[in-house]
Amino acid sequence: MRYRNQLTYSPLPRIKDLFTRNTSYLNADISNIWLKNNDLGFWLSRSSWSIYTIAKYRMQQIKKEVTNICMPDYFCNESLDLLRKLNVNIKFYKVDMSGNADLSSIESLFNGDHPDIILYVHYFGKCADSRILSNYAVKIGAWLIEDATHCLKPERDIGSYGDFVMYSPHKLVPIPNGALLIIRPDGPSKIFSNDSQISNYEIFYQSILTNFNRYDISEFIWLAKRLFQKLFFRINRKAEFGDVIGESGIRAMPQPKMSKLGMRLLVNLASSLGEDSVNRINKQEAWKASLIDAGILSHDNGLNNLPFTPYQARFSFENSKKAEYFFKLLTKYNISATTWPDLPPEVMKNPEKHKDAIKMRNIYLYFPLHSSIENKDISLSIERIDERRVNFV
């Protein structure tokens, strides 16, 4: 029997969720899943809009000619597309191989000036060391953004240190759009310590939704693609190992407001996030076991007993040549291996300074862990690989 590929990069929605007539989502407030203490949540379509909104609000508050923004060098350039439309000075600090910020590289970026905003990332669901950056942000008066867009929900210290926290449920569950921007009155800068400040931000947030409100067909494109994959066959886009996603432009971005379809689907899925967390850890182990059995990974590769919910299964190879070889082999068999991220051009132009970010970009491969994949699909897909092709020269 010919094997029918069951693996897709993105999760597929359940048919019953798509067509069940349910208006309860209109009154549902599911943001509490991600909120802590006195936090307040604001829904947007993408976290690119969250970054844009924070930067725009900071510009309004400090009234500087140019706003200094400090980003990790290990970051997706496409996510900065909206931010680059503003009058901002973006600098990239170094991230080590564990995903933690190099504070000394931040201090040297602005030639005596300092960043107005610092963003750091909890990569692939793993909680980053937050205290050092939080203390530094207080010292220099910068706003601190926790990028938790690879996180299914708060775990350990995730969501506990930033002035803002960003989540992107649309990256992890089958919804067309949906990103939660959290403001934290308890954050290091105490930006929203009184009702007046919160009220001002709410007005500003509504102005973003209104000013960029336009006809948007992105969710219909998403729905058509997912239905086709669900009902007919699943084929993944062929990609090259060095693929870099070009700047799409503000016109190609969905409008900032989260769609009704996105919210309805998320409400239906909210109760199963705990189960999804367990399943993701199990699928990480399934990928690891299958890749080891096939001779693609060594036995000491991958992670054991994860203390967090992984966004994707991440495995490292000895060098970029080996990673590229197995990337091409896996994609030849239509197996959903990917690389990440499309590094910013400022990073790529300075390989010596940003060598760890470039190394991570070149030696890691990633595999999906979402709800549309079963463990048997993983093992069956890997078993199809001709063992003669696995012997890397």
Give tens-digit pLDDT for 307-363.
Answer: 789 999 999 999 999 999 999 999 888 888 999 999 999 999 999 999 999 999 999
Give tens-digit pLDDT for 146-199.
Answer: 999 999 999 989 999 999 999 999 999 999 999 999 999 999 999 998 999 999
Q: Is residue 257 part of a domain?
A: no
Say whether both 57 and 170 belong to one domain.
yes
Q: Residue 90 pairs with which residues in a beta bridge?
A: 69
**What does the DSSP assignment read for 293-359?**
HTTSS-TT-S-SS-SS--SEEEEE-SSHHHHHHHHHHHHHTT---B------HHHHT-TTTTHHHHH
Say whether both 277 and 128 belong to one domain.
no
Q: Is residue 263 part of a domain?
A: no
Last residue of a domain, one of 181, 211, 241: 211
Say whether both 148 and 284 belong to one domain.
no
From the list 82, 170, 103, 95, the residue with the least C-alpha distance to 126 is 95
From the list 76, 63, 130, the residue with the least C-alpha distance to 103 is 130
Predicted pLDDT at 258 = 94
Q: What CATH number has the domain bearing residue 112?
A: 3.40.640.10
Overall domain count for the chain: 2
The dihedrals phi and psi of 366, each to the nearest 5 degrees, come to -125, 145
Say whether both 206 and 275 belong to one domain.
no
Say whether both 40 and 158 belong to one domain.
yes
E strand or H helix at 181: strand 179-183
Share of the chain above pLDDT 70, in %: 89
Q: Is residue 237 part of a domain?
A: no
From the list 160, 110, 150, the residue with the least C-alpha distance to 126 is 150
Say whether both 144 and 51 belong to one domain.
yes
Q: Is residue 53 part of a domain?
A: yes
Predicted pLDDT at 303 = 55
Residues with Cβ < 8 Å from 66, sequence gap 6 or more?
87, 88, 89
Q: What is the pTM of this model?
A: 0.92
Say whether both 205 and 74 belong to one domain.
yes
The residue assigned the tokens 């010596």 is 352
CA distances from 318 to 116, 120, 165, 382, 386 (A): 38, 27, 34, 20, 22
Last residue of a domain, one of 172, 194, 211: 211
Say whether both 66 and 159 belong to one domain.
yes
Q: Is residue 144 part of a domain?
A: yes
Cα angle value 365/48/131 (rounded, 5°) = 75
Say whether both 75 and 184 belong to one domain.
yes
Residue 301 to residue 331: CA distance in whole angstroms = 20
Q: Is residue 219 part of a domain?
A: no
Last residue of a domain, one of 187, 211, 235: 211
Give tens-digit pLDDT for 132-142.
Answer: 999 999 999 99
Say whether both 53 and 176 belong to one domain.
yes
Q: Is residue 262 part of a domain?
A: no
Reported as a pLDDT band with limits 50, 70 and 90, residue 393 is low
Say whether both 184 and 286 belong to one domain.
no
Q: What CATH number has the domain bearing residue 370?
A: 3.90.1150.10
Say whether both 312 and 198 belong to one domain.
no
Q: Residue 68 pairs with which residues in a beta bridge?
A: 89
Q: Is residue 225 part of a domain?
A: no
DSSP letter at 101 equals B
| Domain with 20 in it | 15-211
